[in-house]
């Protein structure tokens, strides 16, 4: 399975063709899993939370795949890929599979091939797929468009933090969980939950079937985890009963197609002979403020279209 994921993540043209053949064969077997996106600010405890949640799920008979996406350095192009080491129990669980993947500069805190990777693990029989994202601050819409349930982890002590949260992230959330709600943080966590609940009431729910909730939990002390997962299963049951889940997945497949189209066009443009020489010249002109970025983009696209014809 690891080799299959490496294949679908590859950008080599020959590998891309083989990956499409593989995905076509796997798709009919990749429809029964429960996809849950998990995001939150750095330091909120995502890895510890997932380690506890995943271990509980495997103990109950589930097979859990964690797609832990690691931010790629914009300077060196490297990434630490340390999530697997932070999920100590899940990392050695025979019923769990953890795949750290670099974002490689893509938006949304997800790697360029996260959707494809999810298809592979689902076809391999993993019934729960947890996608851990880089964190609040990027285009989290990308994450919400590939999962059934979107969980946002928050820290105790709303206050100024609440002011800094993007409204768009709250609108996407199916559940907000205030993590680290233990010990000296317990009181602050309750106050934060009340603040988040008040904020959520001001927003229009994305679904007529589901009203987002706010809960308290502690991944470190394993409290509130069962209630949280019960909420996730209630959401799935409600969305399935109304047919919204099927509709949502259908739309997600269409968005996946267009995201791939945009990715392919950008890659082909960069590699096209007609534009390869222009790219360096236009980038230099834009850096020196001699040409507007929009004008440079128009010239590249026009040259690319001309070459394609």
Q: What is the mean pLDDT of residues 206-234?
A: 94
Nearest to 133 by CA among 164, 169, 159, 160: 169
Answer yes or no: is pLDDT of 74 > 80. Answer: no
- What's the pLDDT score for residue 73? 38
Task: Give the residue ranges of DSSP H helices in 138-224.
Answer: 141-144, 159-164, 167-172, 186-201
CATH value of 29-242 in 2.60.120.10, 3.40.50.300, 3.40.50.170, 1.10.10.10: 3.40.50.300
104, pLDDT greater than 70: no
Q: Provide the 10 A C-beta neighbour count for residue 127.
A: 15
The structural domains of the chain, with segments of one domain joined by +, span 29-242, 272-308
Band of residue 82 on the pLDDT scale cut at 50, 70, 90: very low
Q: Has residue 106 got a pLDDT over 80?
A: no
Contacts of 248 (CB under 8 A, 6+ apart): 148, 239
Q: What does the pLDDT look like over 17-71, one tens digit per residue?
A: 899 999 999 998 987 899 999 988 778 899 999 999 999 999 999 999 999 865 5
Give the SS3 label for residue 130. Answer: strand
Paired tokens of 2:
């690891």
Rounded to two decimals, what is the model's pTM?
A: 0.86
The answer, yes or no, to whether residue 308 has pLDDT greater than 90, is no
Chain Cα centroid distance, residue 287: 32
Of residues 306 and 151, which shows the higher confidence score? Answer: 151
Query: How many other CB atoms sit within 10 Å of the CB of residue 124?
Result: 17
Q: Which long-range contacts (CB under 8 A, 24 or more apart) does 277-281 make?
A: 278/303
């Amino acid at each position: 399975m690891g080799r299959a994921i490496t294949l679908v993540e590859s950008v080599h043209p020959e590998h891309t063709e083989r990956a499409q053949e593989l995905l076509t064969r796997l798709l009919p077997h990749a429809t029964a899993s429960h996809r849950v996106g998990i995001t939150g600010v750095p330091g909120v405890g995502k890895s510890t939370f997932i380690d506890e949640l995943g271990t509980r799920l495997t103990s109950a008979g589930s097979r859990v795949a964690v797609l832990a996406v690691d931010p790629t350095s914009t300077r060196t192009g490297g990434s630490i890929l340390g999530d697997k080491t932070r999920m100590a129990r899940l990392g050695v669980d025979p019923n769990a599979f953890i795949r750290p993947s670099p974002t490689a500069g893509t938006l949304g805190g997800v790697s360029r091939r996260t959707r494809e990777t999810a298809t592979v693990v689902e076809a391999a029989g993993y019934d729960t797929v947890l996608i851990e994202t880089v964190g609040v601050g990027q285009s989290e819409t990308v994450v919400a468009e590939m999962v059934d349930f979107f969980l946002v982890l928050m820290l105790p002590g709303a206050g100024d933090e609440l002011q800094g949260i993007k409204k768009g992230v709250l609108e996407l959330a199916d559940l907000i969980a205030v993590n680290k709600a233990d010990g000296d943080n317990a009181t602050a966590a309750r106050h934060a939950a009340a603040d988040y609940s008040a904020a959520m009431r001001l927003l229009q729910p994305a679904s007529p079937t589901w009203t987002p909730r706010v809960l308290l939990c502690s991944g470190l002390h394993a409290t509130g985890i069962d209630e949280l997962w019960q909420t996730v299963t209630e959401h799935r049951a409600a969305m399935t009963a109304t047919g919204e889940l099927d509709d949502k997945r259908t739309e997600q497949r269409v968005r996946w197609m267009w995201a791939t189209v945009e990715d392919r066009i950008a890659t082909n443009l960069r590699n096209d002979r007609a534009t390869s020489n222009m790219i360096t010249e236009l980038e230099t002109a834009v850096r020196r403020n001699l040409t507007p970025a929009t004008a440079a983009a128009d010239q590249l696209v026009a040259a690319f279209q001309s070459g394609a014809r």
